[in-house]
Amino acid sequence: MKPRENLDTIHAAALEVFADYGFKKATLEDIAAALGMTKANLYRYARNKRDLYENTVRWALLRWQARVGEAIAGERDVERQFRVMCRKAVEYLSGDAHLSRLLMRDPEIFPMFAEQDPYADINRASMAMIRRILERGIAEGRFRTVDLASVPEILFSIYKMFIIRMYIRTKDRPLDSMFAQTVELLCRGLVLPEPPGGPAGEPQASRRRP
């Protein structure tokens, strides 16, 4: 038998099937068929159906997180870093058709909205990333000294933007402008009015109304 390189193939297939049918209606045989193998073999990769599901979501969320991380790695200026983080987070989340469909389909498991979030650790990682940006912004004197307890709220905003984007996708609303406005609002609470002498990073164009 051809050895299967890694779990990625299984997770990718499972993600698609779960996104198509939701947890309940998706069957292990659907997933196995998509992979060209029998359902019994799936038990080598997950203890049971629920496990396969959670592992899959976890895998997809981590991939999403990693992409956002890469996107902001190149940014030198904190303000830009913050903006890119917000934009990319929503972009990738709604861009990955399967992940977004999955998150919309089984709302009871949507991170941060479930009674007890099975993906709390992943959200924690996201929040750590946000916190790092805030801390750096504050240290560089670019951001106000905000309470770091507001970090979860920023992540929450991002999810909210994603949901809105998903639900109104069919209509051709000027969503991106609405989205930009939200990011703008977040920034206005963060970024200091005018950096006195120009700090570490080169002066970024930060459109702000007078």
Partner DNA sequence: TCATTAGTGAACAAAATATTCATTTGTTCA
Partner DNA sequence: TGAACAAATGAATATTTTGTTCACTAATGA
Contacts with DNA, residue ranges (CB under 7 A): 1-4, 25-29, 32, 36-41, 43-44, 47-50
Rounded least distance, CB 102 to DNA, Å: 16
Q: Which is nearer to DNA, 33 or 71 (CB)?
A: 33
Q: Which is nearer to DNA, 24 or 171 (CB)?
A: 24
Rounded least distance, CB 22 to DNA, Å: 11
Q: Which is nearer to DNA, 36 or 174 (CB)?
A: 36
Rounded least distance, CB 104 to DNA, Å: 21
Rounded least distance, CB 79 to DNA, Å: 46
Closest CA to 30 of 43, 20, 17: 17
* H-only helix segments in 74-194: 78-95, 97-105, 120-139, 151-167, 175-190
| Cβ burial 51-82 (10 Å sphere, 16+ → b, else e) | ebbebbbebbbebbbebbeebbeebebbbbbb
Q: Which is nearer to DNA, 45 or 156 (CB)?
A: 45
